[in-house]
Amino acid sequence: DAGITQSPRHKVTETGTPVTLRCHQTENHRYMYWYRQDPGHGLRLIHYSYGVKDTDKGEVSDGYSVSRSKTEDFLLTLESATSSQTSVYFCAISERQGTTEAFFGQGTRLTVV
Amino acid sequence: QKEVEQNSGPLSVPEGAIASLNCTYSDRGSQSFFWYRQYSGKSPELIMFIYSNGDKEDGRFTAQLNKASQYVSLLIRDSQPSDSATYLCAVNQGGKLIFGQGTELSVKP
């Protein structure tokens, strides 16, 4: 299994609070991605990173920010959590840009009440 | 129009039959295509990838790519109950891996 760990695995938070999810990899892969998965929508890209301090927006980036200060860590922050951000969040990593498979973390189930 | 679209299913096939899963994409510049399988409550895992027009076979799985028509498909031969899962099509578009909404497959014994 690819060395990719998400934390926390489960979280319940209140509306309006900031939340940070962490993705940690031990594979030294350049590319890292954050997705959310909701019924009927598949996986939707939130943000991705193509190197340290290099990030870009995905399809559903509003209300989310990311940071990557070192190769192994990619943080996703919900600046002020809303109920619409209740979802399962997946981190993925890949070695090269789109020509190799992406490996996924175990997912984080986030509930905003 | 979604960038990557799949027939949403659910698709139900009897054990031993061929399951056919389809995916269309909007960006003609897309170069690489992936099929992932996701069991309920688990992470997606790669089944196959394809870059060139035509067929690519791996065991019971065959991926087919037609860039002119902008579709990619996955055939599962001799379907087994253990193949019951959601199948996700993914397309690389400018470095972003974009997924379809997934097709739920149920293989009945």
pLDDT in tens, A33-69: 999 999 888 899 999 999 999 999 998 999 999 999 9
Q: B37, B45 in Cβ contact below 8 A?
A: yes
Q: Is the pLDDT of residue A4 over 70?
A: yes
Q: For residue B3, give the nearest of A23, A112, A49, A59 by alpha carbon.
A: A59
Please answer yes or no on whether B32 and A99 come within 8 Å at the CB atom. Answer: yes
Confidence of residue A7 (pLDDT cuts 50, 70, 90): very high
Touching check for B100 and chain A: CB below 8 Å?
yes
pLDDT in tens, A63-93: 999 999 999 999 999 999 999 999 999 999 9
- Alpha-carbon distances, residue A85 vs A1, A6, A15 (angstroms): 29, 17, 10
pLDDT in tens, B66-100: 999 999 999 999 999 999 999 999 998 877 889 99
pLDDT, residue A98, reads: 58
The span from the CA of A102 to the CA of A111, in Å, is: 26
- Alpha-carbon distances, residue A99 vs A35, A45, B30 (angstroms): 19, 17, 11
Q: Which of A33, A42, A104 sits opposite B100 (nearest CB)?
A: A42
Q: Which of A58, A92, A98 sits opposite B92 (nearest CB)?
A: A98
| Average pLDDT in chain B | 93
Using the Cα atoms of residue A76, residue A81, residue A84 and residue A87 in order, give the sign of their dihedral.
Answer: positive
**CB < 8 Å from A in window 45-84 of B:** 45-46, 49, 51
The span from the CA of B2 to the CA of B68, in Å, is: 18
Average pLDDT of the segment spanning A11-28: 96
pLDDT, residue A100, reads: 67
Question: Between β-strands B32-38 and B19-25, what pairing exists: parallel, antiparallel or unpaired?
Answer: unpaired
Confidence of residue B39 (pLDDT cuts 50, 70, 90): very high
Please answer yes or no on whether B88 and A102 come within 8 Å at the CB atom. Answer: no
Q: How many CB pairs under 8 A join A and B?
A: 58
| Average pLDDT in chain A | 93
**CB < 8 Å from A in window 16-35 of B:** 31-32, 34
Average pLDDT of the segment spanning A14-18: 97
A60 by DSSP, 3-state: which?
coil
Confidence of residue A99 (pLDDT cuts 50, 70, 90): low
Q: Which residue of B has its CA nearest to A37?
A: B101
